[in-house]
Amino acid sequence: MSEAEVLTRIDGAVGRITLNRPKALHALNKAMCEAMIDALTEWRDDQEVVGVLIDHMGERGFCAGGDIRMIAESGAGDASEAKAFFKTEYRLNHLMFEYPKPITAVVDGIVMGGGVGISEPASVRIATERTTYAMPETGIGLFPDVGGGWFLSRLPGQTGVWLALTGARLKAADTVALGIHTHFVPSDGVMALKADLMGGVEPAEAVAKHRATDPGPATIDREAIDRLFAFDSVEEIFAALAADGSDWALAQLATLKTKSPTSMKVSLKQVRTGATLTEFAHNMAMEYRLGGRIVSTHDFQEGVRAVVVDKDNAPQWSPATLDGVSDAAVAALFAPLPADEEWTPL
């Protein structure tokens, strides 16, 4: 087996991208994103390629996100490497979003952060019983990037806000019910599904053939989420959860109190702003401004230390409370960049 971190080849009728960094749960780096961009660009005008399949080696998960250690180390300096990664990663996200041929993503296992960014733009998104989805960025002082402002804001009701703020983990029953993933296929049917795709079978037809069961009933409380997260400030959401007083609401409140106050305010503004945008590229430009600035902040550096490096899971946020995070401080993170520094699509 090749040691390349991304395997790209034409397999039958499809261009196939296989993530091949299993020890790091296929965490993305700039070279991996570049390899995917190169392959997708080459296949776009290849008449022999009818569609694209993206999957992964091994059984531990699809993709756990970006290379957080690298991003944090860069952010502790001049952040140039982190910005270069975001620029390339977001261009990959946008290329996939606008791609003229159908992309099928088989999301078998853990899919978080950057993994969401390379699966959500796919037209067919397949979950299995092993799928675990989350956007857990507020727990490390970050925000749900890679298109989160676009995709989360377009989920039903307030579920996108809830996911962005709490980092809640969902299984296939809920991801399919919300439309995060389009289909459920048991993991033992995935190989046959891939074989059909490579044989030129249309993705929808192949999925219908191999979807032996549905993932079961959804488990999340949509009514409570839509009622308690329908506010434009994190303070109002906290107050609503406290006033509700149910076990579920208090559990959400307890979870939110562990997250970075700055990250929560940024993430809420990001999702609310994303809902108003009419082009995916505008969303990615917004997230690039945020990403290049947030990686140098105390909370991101501290969050990565606590969760990824030391693993004590006891980050000391600063400001430590919501009232310490001013509207002006949040607005500054969203401010336009100089024209020659703004993100642009390929």
Is 302 an active-site residue?
Answer: no
Q: What is the pLDDT of residue 212?
A: 55
Which member of 114, 117, 148, 292 is catalytic?
A: 114
Residue 17 makes CB contacts below 8 A (sequence gap 6+) with 6, 7, 8, 36, 39, 40, 52, 53, 54, 55
Q: pLDDT band at residue 58, thresholds of 50, 70 and 90?
A: confident
In the chain, the number of structural domains is 1
Which member of 137, 196, 299, 302 is catalytic?
A: 137
pLDDT (mean) for 204-214: 79
Which member of 67, 108, 120, 145 is catalytic?
A: 145
Domain membership flag for residue 318: yes
Is 66 an active-site residue?
Answer: yes
Domain membership flag for residue 346: no
Is 291 an active-site residue?
Answer: no
Is 55 an active-site residue?
Answer: no
List the CATH number of the domain containing 44.
3.90.226.10
Domain membership flag for residue 1: no
Domain membership flag for residue 81: yes
Q: Tens of pLDDT along 223-240?
A: 999 999 999 999 999 999
pLDDT (mean) for 139-147: 98
Q: What is the pLDDT of residue 214?
A: 82
Q: What is the pLDDT of residue 237?
A: 98
Domain extent at residue 172: 6-341
Q: What is the pLDDT of residue 163?
A: 98
Which member of 51, 61, 66, 148 is catalytic?
A: 66
On the question of pLDDT at 1 being above 60, the answer is no
Domain membership flag for residue 217: yes
Q: Tens of pLDDT along 241-268?
A: 999 999 999 999 999 999 999 999 999 9
